[in-house]
Amino acid sequence: MELRHCRIHISPVLGIRLIILAGIGSCVFVSSFSSEEALHNSNVEPNAAHCPETYISKSYFKKHAYLLDPDFQDFMAHELHTGSCEALQDKLNLVPRLSILHQHLIGEGSHRRLSSSIRFKSLPESLPEVPAHFCEAIIIERLPSGVFADPFELQHLLQRGVFADAAVFGDINLELPSFRSNRSIVEIHLDIGPNILSGHKNEVEINIELPLHARYPPLGKRGFSAVQFGLPDLFLRCSIEGKSHNESCLFMSTHGGAESQVVAAVWEVPCGIKEHEGVVSVITFITAIVSALLIVLTSIHYSDITDCNHLKQS
Amino acid sequence: MSAMKNISFRNLLVFSAFLRLFLIIYGEWQDTHMEVRYTDVDYLVFSDAASLMASGKSPYQRSTYRYSPLIAFLLIPNSIIHHSWGKFIFSASDLLVGLLIHTILKLRGVPQSISTYCAMVWLVNPFTFTIGTRGNCEPVVCAMVLWIIVCLMNGNLLQAAVWYGLVVHLRIYPIIYALPIILVLDPLYFQSGKKPAVIDWSSSRIKSAFKSSSTKGGDPHHTWVSLTRLVTVRRLMFGLVSGAVFFCCTGFFFYLYGWEFLHEALLYHLTRTDPRHNFSIYFYHIYLQYEHEFSALEKLISFLPQIIVQLVLIFRFAQDLPFCFFVQTLAFVAFNKVITAQYFVWFFCLLPLILPWCSMKLKWKGLACNFLWMGAQTHWLIWGYLLEFKGKHVFIQLWLASLFFLAVNTFVLISIIRHHTYSPVFKRLERVGSKKTS
């Protein structure tokens, strides 16, 4: 009863908050709730006419239960409407692309950061006639099952303004070992800036550090299990000012040319050794039983002794 | 003299309160200025769950929230008043634990100065005062367990039963106290219309040597009599009321939040087998076996030491209730399949209650036990650090460190039992008792 009573008092406060949120109703605001769960839970959904699905990966998981590389490649090739952009119809080949410069892991142990360096390079011919626009880089990391990103940690980074948007999709159970878990996707959005397509900046280099955590790997023979990363999928999304409404244009960057030289990171995670199985089980149980017996024997034999002379005189 | 001692306990309480206030404020500073947060990760989970609850949603939408919704409910003001609200609640409970330790010892006739020293073991223990100020909910559970002891000592069985049902709903582990409570509700001590008589600390010191054989819970004859008299009105009442409170709370939250609540808050804790490294000796075995299902025999073997130790301790020490709770909890944690550092608070809050009956001298045996226990823990933490933060393959060393930690826990437990002066809490009410037994 007390609980319900309290909720009545609270809901108006929250209601007001939601009204304010709905009033603002912009894509940017909604994105501040960006973990997969938070988006699902939020009552405030972006207006579909002006703002397409914030997260590309969310569309994938609407159709697929698990992350499988062939499915995702198929999804990118056929279901993402990349390159269709009215405002830039005849200049699509002039739109600059993003490319990955290098990817490596920082730190040691079970909690490390995947550092990726991404380059945005303007083409020699800029597009002066493009209407006012704002672009963001979208980085999609398809994580191997041996690692996970903590959505709540990402939320913390979002609050600190490290990313414009970030969300985790797929298996977000943080506690399962890798042989019981499925893969997940981390999608990060970073603001590149206004009117970048028509600007004269030659090159922008973006560094991102994504905190990741190792799951317990399957048992092995040599004591370490290699977790192999893939290169991220890169997109450029620009919101271009139109007459009636803003148009959102999505451009995909493919790894080609010099970029293919980039070596994806590998994480060596310590793993249990299968040969330990028998010895560990036997010694564990013997230790438990011996300890238990010692306590039992002490309780039976020594609880009778109540020597007052030894009492602590404090 | 007595007034002066009273003031000194009050001073201790005031000092402890300021210490906690300072730590909460310091925690705020560290959280904003340093990479490593002072606040416990669980506190952020509680806060998220509380804000979900405030908006009418299930707290279990916050993954890894594995507590009763009551904890999230307590922390609803976190998102309305201040995000440190919960830390104040937990630290206040932590102070309340200090106060209750003092109250229980006073009820048992322990001199003021000794009670104050004992309360100090909890109040100025760095391990415990950081728990509450970092935002861990365990002090609430500890305060409830101690309050149940106070209620039993004052003869408030109904209240004790209500709190007991609630505390088992909050955190399942106090279920291990059910049997000793039932055993202590003996008609020899509890009679209608009478407040149970508590044995005075000083008299127990004098009489325990010659009265021990007749009052000991461990006496086989006494145990047999206790068993035959097991079904009494008070015991039934305690069982029914606490059971009703437990099932009402659980049923109410099941109605509100469904299976998710049952899975996260109850079943998860009952069936938890964590393959990730923790203080338990079983962690590496569980990891190595995780790819296949555990056989019934394996489950039984790992459960057997736990249940045997619990039963023996209960039947030996039930009448010395606080001591029984302490040894039970220490053993329960030591033999558990999962052990995290926060579980140690469960027996830390009971330790001051047994010290006045402990003949172990602080110099040097007491200190040796203390350092041995801390050393075994630190030794484990070093290997744990090398595995988790340096990525070294040290599973075997870490598992051996867990075995050593169990060995040290066993040694400490045995030393405590050997140096304990068995002292039942309640005085036998001879007249009615003799009628009933004859």
Q: Which of B115, B120, B359 to mutate to test the interface with A (most CBs of A within 10 A)?
A: B359
Nearest to B391 among A109, A285, A307 (CB): A109
Question: Is residue B429 classed as helix, strand or coil in its secondary structure?
Answer: coil
Q: Is B382 on the interface with A (CB under 8 A)?
A: no
**A/B interface, count of CB pairs below 8 Å:** 192
Cα torsion angle, A37, A38, A44, A45, sign: negative
Residues 6+ apart with CB under 8 A from B314: B179, B180, B183, B324, B328
Number of other residues whose CB lies within 10 A of the CB of residue B3: 7
pLDDT, residue A202, reads 62
Determine contact, residues B172/B131, Cβ cutoff 8 Å: no
Cα torsion angle, B348, B350, B353, B355, sign: negative
> For residues A253 and A99, what is the distance between their CA atoms, to the nearest angstrom?
7
Q: Which of A54-58, B104-108, B335-339 has the lowest mean pLDDT?
A: A54-58
Q: pLDDT confidence of B354, banded at 50, 70, 90?
A: very high
pLDDT, residue A163, reads 83
pLDDT over 50 (residue A2)? no
Closest residue in chain B to residue A110, using alpha carbons only: B388
Report helix, strand and coil shares of chain B as percent, to nearest 5. Answer: 75, 0, 25
Helix axes B85-107, B138-153, angle to 10 degrees: 30
Q: How far is CA A268 from the centre of its chain?
A: 20
For the segment B204-223, what is each residue's pLDDT rounded down to a tens digit?
655 444 344 344 445 555 66
Tell if the CB–CB gap between A311 and B359 is shorter than 8 Å.
yes
Q: Which of A39, A169, A295, A300 to mutate to test the interface with B (most CBs of B within 10 A)?
A: A295
Q: pLDDT confidence of B386, banded at 50, 70, 90?
A: very high
Question: Is residue A238 classed as helix, strand or coil in its secondary structure?
Answer: strand
pLDDT over 90 (residue B437)? no
Q: For residue A204, what are the β-bridge partners? A: A120
> For residues B163 and B141, what is the distance between their CA atoms, to the nearest angstrom?
10
- Burial class of residue A111 (count of CB atoms within 10 Å of its CB; 0-12, 13-18, 19+): middle
* Ordered alpha helix ranges (H), chain A: 2-24, 27-31, 36-41, 56-63, 69-78, 151-159, 277-302
Query: In angstroms, what separates the C-alpha of A270 from chain B's closest C-alpha?
Result: 5
Tell if the CB–CB gap between B406 and A294 is shorter than 8 Å.
no
- How many residues appear in chain A? 314
Tell if the CB–CB gap between B56 and A314 is shorter than 8 Å.
no
Determine contact, residues B166/B248, Cβ cutoff 8 Å: no
Per the structure block, which two tokens stand in for B174?
């106090």
- Burial class of residue B2 (count of CB atoms within 10 Å of its CB; 0-12, 13-18, 19+): exposed
Closest residue in chain B to residue A308, using alpha carbons only: B205
pTM of the model: 0.82
Region A260-279 average pLDDT: 88
Question: Measured between beta carbons, which residues in chain B are less than 8 angstroms from residue A277?
Answer: 288-289
Number of other residues whose CB lies within 10 A of the CB of residue A162: 15
Per the structure block, which two tokens stand in for B151?
């209620």
Task: Say how many Å lie between the first and final Cα of chain A, rounded.
Answer: 50
> For residues A22 and A15, what is the distance between their CA atoms, to the nearest angstrom?
10
Tell if the CB–CB gap between B290 and A179 is shorter than 8 Å.
yes
> For residues B194 and B197, what is the distance between their CA atoms, to the nearest angstrom?
8
Region B298-316 average pLDDT: 90
> For residues B435 and B190, what is the distance between their CA atoms, to the nearest angstrom?
14
pLDDT, residue A263, reads 82
Tell if the CB–CB gap between A37 and B63 is shorter than 8 Å.
yes
pLDDT over 80 (residue A91)? no
Q: For residue A233, what are the β-bridge partners? A: A140
pLDDT over 90 (residue A289)? yes
> For residues B121 and B307, what is the distance between their CA atoms, to the nearest angstrom?
30
Closest residue in chain A to residue B407, using alpha carbons only: A291
pLDDT, residue A204, reads 78
For the segment A148-193, what is each residue's pLDDT rounded down to a tens digit?
998 888 887 888 788 888 888 888 777 778 878 888 899 998 888 7
pLDDT, residue A24, reads 28
Percentage, residues of chain A above pLDDT 90: 19
Per the structure block, which two tokens stand in for A37?
């769960």
pLDDT over 70 (residue A19)? no
Q: Which of residues 223-242 of A touch B (CB under 8 A)?
A: 223-224
Percentage, residues of chain A above pLDDT 70: 66
> For residues A233 and A238, what is the distance between their CA atoms, to the nearest angstrom?
17
For the segment A32-53, what is each residue's pLDDT rounded down to a tens digit?
323 343 333 333 233 333 345 6
Q: Which of A290, A34, A27 is nearest to A136 (CA)?
A: A27
Nearest to A223 among B209, B335, B393 (CB): B393
Q: Name the DSSP letter for residue A82.
A: T
pLDDT over 80 (residue B66)? yes
User: What's the mean pLDDT when you consider all of chain B?
Assistant: 87
Per the structure block, which two tokens stand in for A108?
């040691």
Nearest to B285 among A3, A281, A295 (CB): A281
> For residues A138 and A236, what is the distance between their CA atoms, to the nearest angstrom?
6
Q: Name the DSSP letter for residue A65.
A: S
Say how many CA atoms lie within 13 Å of B311 toward its Cβ.
7
Flag whether the ipTM exceeds 0.90.
no
